[in-house]
Structure 1
């Protein structure tokens, strides 16, 4: 079943809890979304609050995918660049598909929905994201049209002695 994507859904307790569950479940499955397992919902909550604050201030937009049962199954945050010379592109952050929905094309659908959303933002010409090296994510994003435009070796410390590259990817929208 396809996911139903919504840009800027109303933030209510069900959405908040769904995002916390999604973020924790993706992290526990080894997803590169800013945490390493084990992680609790309470450890994730401050990061989600930061995203909600940025949304309330108009700096970030939220894209959520719900499954056929109405559960949060995917999400991504699109953040406007505030540097006056870089306002023509947005950041794509915290791209997540629930493990039970992975391998069904929903990641591609999420990225396509994010690109469609970004095309509706005034003056936006590209999406930029970073991903953790060593997981094959750059191949996945590349297969969705993103190009690797930079790499910082060893910039992400997953654990002592386990440093990963920070891979910078860009998707032109024009």
Structure 2
């Protein structure tokens, strides 16, 4: 696996990232949408996300040079908080899940953050998925949660869990 921070956003890379996002969502991943989705459902959000974060995109490429996993180290927009970033849109393509790519991606994010001179990474995740246990296994600590703040459907709410990792 090869990780690249701030890869050139070509049309081909955009489509691979979009495909990954679609596949992760349809496999049940908690990445901002509820399945089923098509690439066209996600495209407007992806265009906005990638336009804002071109320098903060971290992509893991598999041995064939294809997108295997990715995340964004999002600037929080405040000089008072310049020592940390939000980790958003963490995803591993379903065909690569279960191979340790998620762990490798999170460790690569730590390395990238250190190279950027950051002191901490923060993220949120959807309660009820068990992914908070994964984040704990790579050094994140829960610092709070907002009950029922994520609505998947009427009457189907989840907590939003806030986590931090000091580097």
Q: Report the TM-score, using the length of structure 1 for normalisation.
A: 0.93
Query: Which residue of 2 is the match for residue 159 of structure 1?
Result: 153
Secondary structure (helix, strand or coil) at the match of 1:85 reads helix
- Residue correspondence of structure 1 range 112-127 to structure 2 within 5 A: 112-122=107-117, 124-127=118-121
Of 73, 77, 96, which residue of structure 2 is paired with 1:78? 73
| Correspondence 1:91 to 2:86 | yes
Q: Distance in 1 between matches of 2:8 and 2:68?
A: 16
Q: Distance in 1 between matches of 2:41 and 2:125?
A: 21
Secondary structure (helix, strand or coil) at the match of 2:81 reads coil
Secondary structure (helix, strand or coil) at the match of 1:135 reads coil
CA contact (8 A) 2:53 2:72 kept: no
| Correspondence 1:148 to 2:142 | yes
Q: Report the TM-score, using the length of structure 2 for normalisation.
A: 0.96
Stretches of 4+ moved more than 6 A in 1? Answer: none
Q: Deviations over 1:71-114 (max 9, x none)?
A: 11100001112123222110000000011111111100000001
Aligned positions, number: 167
Q: Which runs of 5+ in 2 are unaligned?
A: none
